Amino acid sequence: MVVVIAGASHTGKTQLAQRLLEKYGYPYLSLDHLKMGLIRSGQTRLTPSDDGELTAYLWPIAREIVKTAIENRQNLIVEGCYIPYDWEKDFDGAYLSHIRYVCLVMSGDYIRHHFDSIRRYANVIETRLDDTGCTMERLMAENREALRQCRLHRQNYLLIDESYTVNFEL
């Protein structure tokens, strides 16, 4: 099985992937790691802040990794904010039956009431070297758009509203 974890920045995608790794033993691929490897190695001229272009650049690679894992009957978790909301169009039914998708979305109320905690836990799994772009307004806009896109594309999402509770079982 392949688990795909999407969502806006700071929603806990990597933390959920780590928890699933520890519980089920499924390895995970962080699209942030892939992004930085390609940037640092000079394989692309994109920068960490080129979000839209990075999705177009990284998703075809991640998509083929997902297909390869399924073809080899391997379990894998792929997590990151570079997964398009219409990802399903890239897989036929034989692949789709082996993929579980979830998008983590924080409500505006949650962000407003817990912004300091969101910032404090930003480095719980990976160290963010520069997190100055994380503002309440940006998080609210990104999560509103994530929720809109999930609903538009009928994607499975977990809404983080009153407390940070992410229950996702395989």
Backbone angles phi, psi at 160, to 5 degrees: -95, 110
Q: 105-133: string of b/e by CB count within 10 Å (b at 16+)?
A: bbbeebbeebbeebbeebeeeeeeeeeee
pTM greater than 0.75: yes
Give the three-state DSSP class for 105: strand
- pLDDT tens series, the chain, 170 aa: 999 999 999 999 999 999 999 999 999 999 999 999 999 999 999 998 898 899 999 999 999 999 999 999 999 999 999 999 999 999 999 999 999 999 999 999 999 999 988 888 766 656 655 667 789 999 999 999 999 999 999 999 999 998 888 888 88
